[in-house]
Amino acid sequence: MIDWAERAFGSLHQWVFEGIVLPAAGGLGLSGYAEHLFDGTELFLIGVLQLALLLALVRPLEAWRPVERWADRHAVRADVVYTLLNRLGLVPLVVFFALRPAVDGLDGWLRMHGFVPPNLEDWFPWLRAHPLAAFLVYLAVLDLAEYWRHRLQHRLGWWWQLHALHHSQRQMSLWTDDRNHFLDDLIARGWFAVVALAIGVPPAHFVAALVVTQLVESLSHANVRLSFGRIGERLLVSPRFHRMHHAIGAGHEGPARGCNFAQLFPVWDVLFGTARFDAAYHPTGIRDQLAGRDYGEGVIRQQWLGLKRLFGLDRGSRPAPRAA
């Protein structure tokens, strides 16, 4: 079954690449970049499959057991746009070209000074012969790094001004995961890339880690009453667990400026004292929205307001909310 699915995907990948992408690249004089285009085509197709999976599995869950029923889904539209831009590769492409010279430059500079970044396998050679175990170890390390990145997004005032856009959705749904300020995306992916460089994440793992994380995150943002049970809630981030992170009055306040920061594994929240396993499903958003603060409804206005908040130009702009 695995073999069949992989072959089917491989055939689709080849067909799209050789039938559409490569001829188009030839017309533009870009066929010399075939390897990059080949990888880009794979990411695009993975995005398409992800979207199909979300529509086939997660959307019906939202319809079946919604936390909130909305007469008007207007506010969700911007999140759909963010999701398409991200999952179909446009945002990652721009970010890649923005980050690649810096990351490769750093890597090259280190090597010119005699330092070759190590791999986890250098410390644990056993992992070389066990791809699945290696993948899980890399995934756990990356997820730990993502946990701390997320803590900083809430802790540092300037970063919160960007990240607040993500939390300003009061109709949270499966589309909300990619609702981010583009600068926030750039910083987050730069963080991910540097950590990946430091621990030597294999390219295939990089893609696999991204896909697994994105799928779990889409599910965890879904507007669905779904808990993974007493044990499951502690193993994998569920929609109920993550909803608490977005809850008005809980998700961005208190000594840690929030709770339930984990993206995949709640164990980080348990270890660092930020886990809340309440059974309730709270409304989502930011407290100052109740007082009328505007975070924008369309993508362009949201981005613009994010920049204004970042530079303190937004009237009523203030640092991350403190304890209630």
Partner 1 sequence: MPLRLLRALAAVALAAAVPAHATLAIVLNSGDESLSIVDTATFREVARRPVGKEPHHLMKTPDDRYLIVANAASNELVFLDPATGNEVRRLANISDPYQIGFSPDQKWFVSASNRLDRIDVYDAKDFRLVKRFPAPKVPSHIAFDQASRFAFVTLQESDEVVAIDLAAMEIAWKMKTGRQPAGIWMTPDDRHLLVGITGDKFVEVIDWRERRLAKKLLTGQGAHNFMPLGDGRHVLLSNRVANTVSVIDQQTLEVKESFPVPGGPDDMEVSRDGRQLWVTSRWARQVVVVDLGSKRIIATIPVGKSPHGIFLKDHAPRR
Touching partner 1, residues 174-213 (CB under 8 A): 200, 202-205, 207-208, 211-212
* Distance set, CA 218 to CA 32, 201, 242 (Å): 36, 23, 11
CB contact at 8 A, 296 and 304 = yes
Adjacent-strand bridge partners of 284: 247
Which ranges constitute the DSSP H helices of 173-202?
182-199
Among 79, 68, 71, 70, residue whose Cα is nearest residue 297: 79
Judged by beta carbon, residue 114 or residue 255, the one nearer partner 1 is 114
Judged by beta carbon, residue 7 or residue 65, the one nearer partner 1 is 7
Please tell me whether residue 249 binds partner 1 under the rule CB under 8 A: no
- Amino acid at residue number 227: S
Please tell me whether residue 273 binds partner 1 under the rule CB under 8 A: no
Q: Which of 31, 227, 303, 317 binds partner 1 (CB under 8 A)?
A: 31
Shortest distance in whole angstroms from residue 25 CB to partner 1: 9
Q: What DSSP element (H or E) covers 129?
A: none
* Distance set, CA 102 to CA 40, 190, 191, 196 (Å): 20, 9, 12, 14
Residue count, binding to partner 1 (CB under 8 A): 46
Q: Compute and round to an integer the Cα radius of gyration of the chain.
A: 21
Stretch that binds partner 1, among 84-92, 118-126, 270-278, 311-319 (CB under 8 A): 118-126
Please tell me whether residue 19 binds partner 1 under the rule CB under 8 A: no
Please tell me whether residue 53 binds partner 1 under the rule CB under 8 A: no
Please report, as ranges, the residues that interact with partner 1 according to CB under 8 A: 2-3, 5-7, 9-10, 13-14, 17-18, 22, 26, 29, 31-35, 38, 46, 104, 107-108, 111-112, 116-117, 119, 121-122, 128-132, 135, 200, 202-205, 207-208, 211-212
